[in-house]
Amino acid sequence: MEAVVGLLVMLLAVSHGVETKCDVRQKDGAQCYGALGGTVFLQLMDRAPERLAIDKNNNHIFRWKNYKIVNKSNEDKYSFTPSDGMFRISNLIRADTDEYRLIIHNSSGALLEERTLQLSIQAPVLSARLVSECLSQGEMRVSCSSEGGDSPQYSWSLDGHTLTEDKLLSGNHKTDSITLRQGVEGALVCSVKNHVSHLQKYHKISTCGFIFINCTGSNETRITQWMFAATNTLCVELTTIYTTVDPSLICGLQTAVAALLFSVVAAYFAWRKKKSQRAEGSAMPQERQDAETSV
């Protein structure tokens, strides 16, 4: 019981000052909402008539006659602005949820108009919380929960756009729990709202460490699947290694090659010249000397 009382006190403290507005001009049976502990502004008409009465459970809670307030049951709770026809109910509690009847007469007492409106009081959503969990194959389960708030409604968006079915493995963009497909990443937002409040919770999601591989395995079969990057042994990407060589070293090598080539050419021509000279010497006749005439 103490916990319930504490929660109610917290709700009243948080929702204090929360204001809602409902336009019921020329509408019969309008549905209006107010925040627990807050204030609701009911736009009844453009300006005050000669005579006006507002009933709740067939009891007058406010009366206006000859352009002045005749009576109202609770001055701190009910107020009326004749210049713009605005009726205000403050310090809203659960008991304010009811049907209200608006009765308008002319100066002679003839009934001009009668309308009803339904006022519902809701506790606003206090907070929202996101919890995410990576699954075995790279999917991600995300749940959104809220504290306080009557009849909360949930919706999801990804990178500023409504979450579409192609991103979802289960659930839809209006449930409180969803499962995202493999490879979905971005800014995920859960919105929680009711008729008197609206909260959003942001969560940055990634691929849970999974990568999509597309390669040829060792047995020449094509592999296309999602798997955890840290344990990937099916595909090993070949990396090209680039070596940076000093330009001066390249220039030195070019010079050495040119010098070697020049030496080979020079040696070749020297050998040809020597061979030619030997051939000429062999072709000249040699004089024979007699032993008798030789000195």
Instruction: Give the pLDDT of residue 59.
Output: 87
Give SS3 for 236.
coil
Helix segments in the chain, DSSP class H: 2-15, 247-283
Domain chopping of the chain, boundaries = 13-122, 125-205, 210-240
Both structure tokens of 248: 């001066």
Instruction: Give the pLDDT of residue 139.
Output: 85
Instruction: Give the pLDDT of residue 205.
Output: 84
For tokens 């040119």, the residue is 258
Looking at CATH, the fold of the domain delimited by 13-122 is given as Immunoglobulin-like (2.60.40)
Measured over the CA atoms of residue 64, residue 69, residue 70 and residue 72, the dihedral's sign is positive
Amino acid at 21: K
Q: Is 59 within 8 Å of 72 (Cβ atoms)?
A: no
Q: Is 195 within 8 Å of 97 (Cβ atoms)?
A: no
Give yes or no on whether 13-122 and 125-205 have one common fold: yes
Give me the half-sphere count of Cα atoms (radius 13 Å) on the Cβ side of residue 19. 5
Q: Is 177 within 8 Å of 144 (Cβ atoms)?
A: yes
Q: Is 127 within 8 Å of 155 (Cβ atoms)?
A: no
The Cβ of residue 54 has, within 10 Å, a number of other Cβ atoms equal to 23
Instruction: Give the pLDDT of residue 135.
Output: 85
Closest CA to 95 of 131, 119, 70, 63: 119
0.75 surpassed by pTM: no
pLDDT, tens digit, for every residue of 6-62? Answer: 344 344 444 456 999 999 997 889 999 999 999 999 999 988 888 999 999 888 899
Instruction: Give the pLDDT of residue 121.
Output: 97
For tokens 């061979």, the residue is 275
Q: Which residues contact 199 (CB under 8 A, 6 or more apart)?
A: 125, 127, 128, 146, 191, 192, 193
Distance CA 292, CA 143 (A): 133
Distance CA 270, CA 278 (A): 13
Question: pLDDT means per 10 residues in the chain (295 residues)?
Answer: 41 63 90 96 90 90 86 81 92 96 88 94 94 85 93 94 90 90 90 95 79 63 58 50 51 73 76 70 50 36
Distance CA 198, CA 192 (A): 6
Q: Which residues of 211-230 are buried (b: 16+ CB within 10 A; e: fewer)?
A: eebeeeeeeeeeeeebbeee
Distance CA 75, CA 247 (A): 94
CA distances from 75 to 52, 70, 78, 89, 108 (A): 17, 12, 6, 10, 27
CATH class for the region spanning 125-205: mainly beta
